[in-house]
């Protein structure tokens, strides 16, 4: 089961409220889909500049594996106030610690409410449903 201290988007990002900001990453399911269990297949990640304003649902970056490129979508509107410097040089952290050190960006949300996103149980149902 995925952590229930955060919410999940249909596009496979997770969001966790941390004080007056929201930490965003991608789920273990997204990492597995990109790299088929071989973390060495992750080859590139493009994260936004600090200070960039994003709208919920807007693409803020991308992650690339040897088999696919996937857009990263902001689950909430606000300003990017921090990016995880480890990600761009050490993509394996996404597979090794998806829920902790594998975070991607911190957003100072215009309204830090992530209730519109799925809880862990609903996300489990979403990814196990046939697509």
Domains (range + CATH), the chain: 7-126 (2.40.50.100)
Rounded Cα gap, residues 111 and 2, in angstroms: 25
Q: Quick check: 67 pLDDT over 80? A: yes
Give the mean pLDDT of 85-106: 92
Distance CA 83, CA 104 (A): 6
In terms of pTM, does the model score above 0.95? no
Q: Is it the case that residue 37 has pLDDT exceeding 80?
A: no
Looking at residues 16-20, what average pLDDT do you find?
92
Please say if the pLDDT value at position 20 is more than 80. Answer: yes
């Amino acid at each position: 089961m995925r952590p229930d201290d955060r919410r999940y988007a249909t596009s496979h990002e997770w969001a966790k409220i941390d004080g007056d900001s929201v930490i965003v990453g991608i789920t273990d399911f997204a990492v597995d889909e990109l790299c088929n269990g071989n973390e060495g297949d992750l080859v590139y990640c493009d994260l936004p500049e600090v200070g960039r304003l994003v709208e919920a649902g807007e693409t803020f970056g991308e992650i690339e594996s040897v088999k696919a490129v996937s857009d990263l979508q902001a689950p909430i509107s606000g300003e990017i106030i921090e990016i995880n410097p480890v990600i761009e040089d050490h993509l394996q952290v996404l597979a090794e610690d998806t829920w902790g050190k594998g975070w991607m960006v911190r957003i100072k949300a215009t309204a830090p409410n992530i209730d519109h996103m799925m809880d862990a149980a609903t996300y489990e149902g979403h990814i196990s449903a046939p697509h």
